[in-house]
DNA sequence: GAGCACTGC
């Protein structure tokens, strides 16, 4: 087949998509209004075709068409496809931009990108003056960045003076979503028109099972039972399971099992290959299958009903990874995967009662269950001072916002009146948690950023230590990892990470070095890229801004940890009894060192520590830690309690009067007593550690955990 | 003495 014939066939193929019949209407709808909501199921062609139509209709005359995606792979693959259909070289008229990969040029007019990239662009150009159309895709997924973009775009038009001032031609906004959220979106965007494109899906019938908790699913016995025995509703699952095990299935099609555990990454590639004729393929997948993977020909779904989710808990001030029931809408989506190419079946292994009583209608959007510190700083830098009344499609709880403000104040990113500081303006440029950025900037001001940049990169990527399942191998890996930690000459997990980065980077054969040391080469490679990016950002800021310069007259060997303290003083803990540590952030949580830490079993020698993160499993564990001296954080710790909720909410609402400010400052001055003894400060800090609160939080957690245990009686 | 879903800049 010649090249042109192939292209023609692509073009003809696109004319078969459901969206094609609505081409002219769609173009008119975009012309007629500022906001437009477009809904359509997967397969309607909206992601690839709408930008193409708008391009053909002349929307690129003044500016670009930008289309956001929540994920990188999607941005890249869709751009490739559209470039092919429009018969142009990728990176010319049609391009994409994701982190570490900018495939655009001066001539790019149709630009696919991740939502995070567009947010970065808004920081540099708040009215998006280069764009004539912005399309937010997959809005129903409710990713944090897409939600923020939605609010910003809505706000751009309500602050009409501002928007007009910065632009010479109109901006059109299209939001694309699955059907369920369309009316809500329309209401949010001043009752904009909703354009519905029929999808191309087949019916899926669902049946229920008898599992009532993740433990049921976890136990191999149960899974085996489910897969080989029976279902409450009879033969259907039996048939599906027969299909799974039979070498010569009687029905064509695939079967997919969405689980909530991890999947060996090295096996992912084979998933996309069609099975040999007469062999059934079974895909066992995490929720990566919900969005990121498109596997054609799936006919059966087995739905576990659970998902592993990272939730922010503002009660204890930390992120907790937990297994929770999915929402009904998520379950419908899982089921929908079986009906893409023909009629399908979904086997829900939980009871109908569980569906009715324990599963929420919709998934809680990310913005309502995540730490907002970085996002609030971004908003502040965009001139959104009233972060409580920002137009959120779904408002985060006020205490989440207050907690974020408090942290930003603690990191010197905002001042007492909620205004972004010089330091805050530098911090927003880094793709890191503000605390870590604070440590990086401290190091840079002292000229020792070579210590902090690699560390920040290592803390940004997935876990680098491989721990195999095989007991022998596990022992081997543990020994090697411990030796790596010992090499730094001190108990310090941060220093170990830095050392691994440096050792690998300076090795002649870095990938072989990783293999020898049970380290993920892929993770280290991305750490190298992140470090390069962070270094570039730092260099740029040092050239244009009034960059802070500090001096350090302490012991050189303390420099690294002293820098860390400026970003991690919110994560300070003091050893209380035995191996238990008590956090000093005001929550007074009782935490243990994780056994993977080089400080583990050395607790007796420790007093004060700082840590990177907390993991709640059988206990509350802190991972990646190092010992510090109380003197290093003594002056910082009072900052943890300096601001109270009342003041912050005023700051957040921009309601602070001058009178209030004077009152507040007087109170603050009174608090700052001339010389306070160490014991006094500690006493004061520990007094805040309300044990009832901690015990309560713990009890709630255990209760939730209990609820998830198998209940054989049912 | 451990139990790490998934994105994104």
pLDDT bucket at A640, cuts 50 / 70 / 90 = confident
Q: How far apart are CA A530 and CA A533, in angstroms?
A: 5
Which range of A205-214, A231-240, A336-345 scores highest in mean pLDDT? It is: A336-345
Token code pair at residue A112: 């696919």
| CA atom of A291 to C1′ atom of B6, Å | 10
Q: Averaged over A284-304, what is the pLDDT?
A: 70
In this structure, the answer to whether residues A466 and A611 fall within a common structural domain is: no
Query: Mean pLDDT in chain A?
Result: 80
Token code pair at residue A468: 């195999």
Higher-pLDDT residue of A291, A216: A291
The gap between the terminal CA atoms of chain A, to the nearest Å, is: 61
Q: How far apart are CA A140 and CA A185, in angstroms?
A: 9
Q: Averaged over A457-463, what is the pLDDT?
A: 92
Mark which of A364, A391, A408 sits at the end of a domain: A364
Q: What is the model's pLDDT at position A322?
A: 73
Higher-pLDDT residue of A469, A398: A398
Q: How far apart are CA A106 and CA A93, in angstroms?
A: 9
Q: What is the model's pLDDT at position A310?
A: 81
Q: Is the pLDDT score of A538 beyond 70?
A: yes
- State the residue for tokens 């931009």: A97
- Is residue A108 within 8 A of residue A91, CB to CB? The reply is yes
Q: Of A113-122, A263-272, A483-492, A585-594, which gets the smallest average pLDDT? A: A263-272
Q: What is the model's pLDDT at position A117?
A: 95
Q: Is the pLDDT score of A570 beyond 60?
A: yes
Which range of A153-157, A234-238, A246-250, A679-683 scores highest in mean pLDDT? It is: A153-157
The nucleotide closest to A76 (CA, C1' atoms): B8
A123 CB neighbours strand B below 7 A: no
Q: Is the pLDDT score of A599 beyond 90?
A: yes
A6-56 per-position pLDDT tens digit? 555 666 777 778 788 899 999 999 999 999 999 987 778 889 999 999 999
In this structure, the answer to whether residues A475 and A597 fall within a common structural domain is: no
Residues 674-713 of A with CB under 7 A from strand B: none
Q: Strand B nucleotides below 7 A of a protein CB?
A: 1-9
pLDDT bucket at A705, cuts 50 / 70 / 90 = very low
In this structure, the answer to whether residues A233 and A287 fall within a common structural domain is: yes
Q: What is the model's pLDDT at position A544?
A: 83
Q: Averaged over A591-616, what is the pLDDT?
A: 91
Mark which of A174, A197, A220 sits at the end of a domain: A197
| CA atom of A613 to C1′ atom of B5, Å | 17
A591 contacts: CB under 8 Å, gap ≥ 6: A573, A580, A581, A582, A583, A611, A614, A619, A620, A621, A622
Q: Averaged over A621-648, what is the pLDDT?
A: 83
Higher-pLDDT residue of A162, A169: A169
DSSP letter for A420, please.
B
Residue at A421 is within a domain: no
Q: How far apart are CA A101 and CA A573, in angstroms?
A: 40
Q: How far apart are CA A16 and CA A45, in angstroms?
A: 9
Residue at A324 is within a domain: yes
Q: DSSP letter string over A268-283?
A: GGGGGSPPPTT---EE
Residue at A390 is within a domain: no
In chain A, the largest separation of any two C-alpha atoms, in whole Å, equals 85
A63-87 per-position pLDDT tens digit? 999 999 999 988 999 999 999 999 9
Residue A111, φ and ψ in degrees, nearest 5: -120, 115
Q: How far apart are CA A551 and CA A79, in angstroms?
A: 49
Q: What is the model's pLDDT at position A662?
A: 62
Q: What is the model's pLDDT at position A683?
A: 56
Q: Which residues on neighbouring strands pair with residue A195, listed in sequence order?
A: A38
Q: Averaged over A604-625, what is the pLDDT?
A: 88
Q: Is the pLDDT score of A703 beyond 60?
A: no
| CA atom of A354 to C1′ atom of B2, Å | 32
Residue nearest to nucleotide B7 (CA to C1'): A71
Mark which of A197, A212, A238 sits at the end of a domain: A197
Q: What is the model's pLDDT at position A230?
A: 31
Residue nearest to nucleotide B5 (CA to C1'): A308
Residue at A303 is within a domain: yes
Closest C-alpha among A230, A155, A213 to residue A390: A155
Q: What is the model's pLDDT at position A42?
A: 73
Q: Averaged over A399-426, what is the pLDDT?
A: 90
Q: Averaged over A666-686, what is the pLDDT?
A: 53
In this structure, the answer to whether residues A251 and A299 fall within a common structural domain is: yes
The nucleotide closest to A260 (CA, C1' atoms): B5
Token code pair at residue A672: 């700052």
The nucleotide closest to A617 (CA, C1' atoms): B3
Domain that holds residue A346: 204-364
How many CB atoms are located within 10 Å of the residue A34 CB? 15
Token code pair at residue A131: 């764009």
Token code pair at residue A446: 């002292």
Which range of A15-19, A203-207, A396-400, A497-501 scores highest in mean pLDDT? It is: A497-501
Residue at A647 is within a domain: no
In this structure, the answer to whether residues A523 and A578 fall within a common structural domain is: no
Q: What is the model's pLDDT at position A252?
A: 42
A311-331 per-position pLDDT tens digit? 887 777 777 777 778 888 888
Q: What is the model's pLDDT at position A232?
A: 32
- CATH number, residue A258: 3.40.50.300
**Number of domains into which chain A is organized:** 4
pLDDT bucket at A228, cuts 50 / 70 / 90 = very low
Long-range contacts: A687-694, Cβ < 8 Å, 24+? A688/A586, A688/A588, A688/A641, A689/A582, A689/A583, A689/A586, A689/A587, A689/A588, A690/A588, A691/A588, A693/A315, A693/A587, A693/A588, A694/A316, A694/A587, A694/A588, A694/A589, A694/A590
Q: What is the model's pLDDT at position A471?
A: 82
> Which stretches of A178-306 are DSSP H helices?
182-188, 214-218, 220-228, 235-245, 288-291
Q: How far apart are CA A45 and CA A14, in angstroms?
A: 8
How many CB atoms are located within 10 Å of the residue A278 CB? 10
Q: Is the pLDDT score of A700 beyond 50?
A: no
Q: What is the model's pLDDT at position A265?
A: 39
Q: What is the model's pLDDT at position A289?
A: 65
In this structure, the answer to whether residues A584 and A546 fall within a common structural domain is: no
Q: Is the pLDDT score of A444 beyond 90?
A: yes
Long-range contacts: A411-419, Cβ < 8 Å, 24+? A411/A435, A411/A437, A411/A438, A411/A567, A412/A438, A413/A377, A413/A438, A414/A377, A414/A380, A416/A643, A416/A647, A416/A651, A416/A661, A416/A664, A417/A651, A417/A656, A417/A661, A418/A380, A418/A385, A418/A651, A418/A652, A418/A654, A419/A380, A419/A385
Q: How far apart are CA A168 and CA A61, in angstroms?
A: 13
A98-127 per-position pLDDT tens digit? 998 999 999 999 999 999 999 999 999 999
pLDDT bucket at A147, cuts 50 / 70 / 90 = very high
- Is residue A68 within 8 A of residue A149, CB to CB? The reply is yes
A368-395 per-position pLDDT tens digit? 988 899 999 999 999 888 898 899 999 9
In this structure, the answer to whether residues A121 and A189 fall within a common structural domain is: yes
Closest C-alpha among A335, A318, A434 to residue A378: A434
Q: What is the CA radius of gyration of chain A?
A: 27
Token code pair at residue A12: 């003809």
Which range of A63-67, A275-279, A287-291, A432-436 scores highest in mean pLDDT? It is: A63-67
In this structure, the answer to whether residues A528 and A575 fall within a common structural domain is: no
- Is residue A65 within 8 A of residue A110, CB to CB? The reply is yes
Q: What is the model's pLDDT at position A693?
A: 41
- State the residue for tokens 């009832």: A692
Token code pair at residue A411: 């990191």
Q: Is the pLDDT score of A689 beyond 60?
A: no
Residue nearest to nucleotide B2 (CA to C1'): A595
In this structure, the answer to whether residues A547 and A630 fall within a common structural domain is: no
Q: How far apart are CA A79 and CA A47, in angstroms?
A: 10
Residue at A396 is within a domain: no
Helix or strand holding residue A253 (H, E) = none
Which range of A284-288, A306-310, A644-648 scores highest in mean pLDDT? It is: A306-310
Residue at A380 is within a domain: no
Residue at A563 is within a domain: yes
A600 CB neighbours strand B below 7 A: yes
Residue A357, φ and ψ in degrees, nearest 5: -95, -35
Three-state secondary structure readout of A69-107: ECCHHHHHHHHHHHHHHCCCCCCCCEEEEECCEEECCCC
A321 CB neighbours strand B below 7 A: yes
- Is residue A496 within 8 A of residue A484, CB to CB? The reply is yes
Q: Is the pLDDT score of A677 beyond 60?
A: no
Q: What is the model's pLDDT at position A219?
A: 43
| CA atom of A117 to C1′ atom of B9, Å | 7
Q: What is the model's pLDDT at position A146?
A: 95
In this structure, the answer to whether residues A101 and A174 fall within a common structural domain is: yes
Q: How far apart are CA A699 and CA A710, in angstroms?
A: 19
Measured over the CA atoms of residue A647, residue A653, residue A658 and residue A659, the dihedral's sign is negative
In this structure, the answer to whether residues A80 and A218 fall within a common structural domain is: no
Q: How far apart are CA A55 and CA A63, in angstroms?
A: 10
pLDDT bucket at A691, cuts 50 / 70 / 90 = very low
Q: What is the model's pLDDT at position A503?
A: 94
Closest C-alpha among A431, A425, A486, A484 to residue A457: A431
Residue nearest to nucleotide B3 (CA to C1'): A617
In this structure, the answer to whether residues A34 and A181 fall within a common structural domain is: yes
Q: Of A120-124, A236-240, A341-345, A531-535, which gets the smallest average pLDDT? A: A236-240
Q: Is the pLDDT score of A243 beyond 80?
A: no
């Amino acid at each position: 087949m010649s090249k042109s014939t192939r292209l023609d066939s692509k073009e003809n193929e696109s004319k078969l998509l459901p969206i094609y019949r609505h081409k002219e209407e769609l173009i008119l709808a975009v012309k007629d209004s500022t906001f437009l909501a477009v809904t359509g199921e997967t397969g309607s062609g909206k992601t690839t075709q709408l930008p193409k139509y708008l391009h053909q209709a002349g929307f690129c005359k003044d500016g670009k068409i930008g289309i956001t995606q929540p994920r990188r792979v999607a941005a890249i693959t869709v751009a490739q496809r559209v470039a092919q259909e429009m018969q142009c070289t990728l990176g010319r008229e049609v391009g994409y931009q994701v982190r570490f990969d900018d495939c655009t040029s001066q001539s790019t007019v149709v630009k696919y990108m991740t939502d995070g990239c567009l947010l970065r662009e808004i920081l540099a150009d708040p009215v998006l003056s280069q764009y004539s159309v912005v399309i937010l895709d997959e809005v129903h997924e409710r990713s944090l960045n897409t939600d923020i973009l939605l609010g910003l775009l809505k706000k751009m038009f309500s602050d009409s003076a501002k928007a007009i001032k910065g632009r010479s031609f109109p901006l059109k906004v299209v939001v694309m979503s699955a059907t369920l959220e369309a009316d809500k979106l329309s209401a949010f965007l001043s009752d904009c028109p909703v354009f519905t494109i029929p999808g191309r899906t087949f019916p899926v019938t669902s049946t229920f099972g008898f599992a009532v908790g993740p433990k049921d699913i976890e136990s191999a016995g149960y899974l085996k039972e489910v897969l080989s025995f029976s279902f409450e509703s009879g033969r259907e699952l039996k048939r599906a399971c027969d299909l799974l095990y039979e070498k010569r299935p009687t029905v064509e099609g695939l079967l997919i099992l969405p689980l909530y555990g991890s999947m060996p990454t090295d096996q992912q590639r084979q998933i996309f290959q069609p099975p040999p004729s007469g062999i059934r393929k079974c895909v066992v997948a995490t929720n990566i299958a919900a969005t990121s993977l498109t596997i054609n020909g799936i006919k059966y779904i087995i739905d576990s009903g659970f998902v592993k989710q990272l939730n922010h808990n503002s009660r204890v001030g930390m992120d907790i990874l937990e297994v929770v029931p999915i929402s009904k809408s998520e379950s419908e989506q899982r089921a929908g995967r079986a009906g893409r190419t023909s009629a399908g079946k979904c086997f829900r292994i939980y009871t109908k009662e569980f569906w009715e009583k324990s599963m929420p209608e919709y998934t809680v959007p990310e913005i309502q269950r995540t730490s907002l510190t970085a996002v609030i700083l971004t908003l502040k830098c965009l001139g959104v001072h009233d972060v409580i009344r920002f137009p959120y499609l779904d408002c985060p709880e006020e205490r989440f916002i207050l907690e974020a403000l408090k942290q930003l104040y603690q990191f010197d990113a905002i001042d007492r009146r909620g205004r972004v500081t010089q330091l805050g303006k530098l911090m927003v440029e880094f793709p890191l948690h503000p605390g870590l950025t604070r440590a990086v900037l401290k190091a840079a001001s002292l000229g020792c950023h070579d210590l902090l940049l690699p560390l920040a990169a290592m803390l940004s990527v997935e876990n680098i230590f491989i721990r195999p399942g095989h007991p022998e191998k596990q022992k081997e890996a543990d020994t090697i990892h411990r030796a790596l930690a010992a090499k730094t000459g001190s108990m310090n997990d941060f220093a170990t990470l830095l050392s691994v980065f440096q050792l690998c980077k300076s090795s002649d054969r870095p990938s072989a070095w990783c293999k020898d040391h049970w380290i993920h080469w892929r993770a280290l490679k991305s750490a190298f890229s992140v470090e390069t990016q962070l270094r570039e950002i730092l260099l740029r800021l040092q050239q244009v801004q009034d960059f802070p310069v500090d001096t350090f007259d302490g012991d050189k060997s303390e420099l690294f940890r002293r820098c860390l303290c400026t970003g991690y003083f919110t994560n300070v803990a003091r050893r209380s009894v035995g191996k238990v540590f008590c956090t000093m952030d005001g929550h007074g949580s009782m935490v243990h060192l994780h056994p993977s830490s080089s400080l583990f079993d050395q607790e007796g020698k420790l007093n004060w520590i700082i840590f990177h993160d907390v993991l709640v499993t059988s206990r509350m564990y802190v991972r990646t830690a190092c010992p510090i001296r109380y003197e290093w954080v003594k002056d910082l710790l009072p900052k943890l309690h300096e601001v109270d909720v009342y003041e912050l909410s005023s700051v957040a609402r921009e309601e602070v009067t001058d009178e209030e400010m004077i009152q507040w400052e007087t109170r603050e001055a009174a608090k700052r007593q001339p010389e306070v003894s160490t014991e006094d400060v500690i006493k004061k800090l520990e007094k805040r550690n309300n044990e009832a609160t901690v015990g309560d939080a713990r009890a709630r957690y255990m209760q939730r955990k209990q609820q998830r245990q198998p209940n054989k009686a049912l």
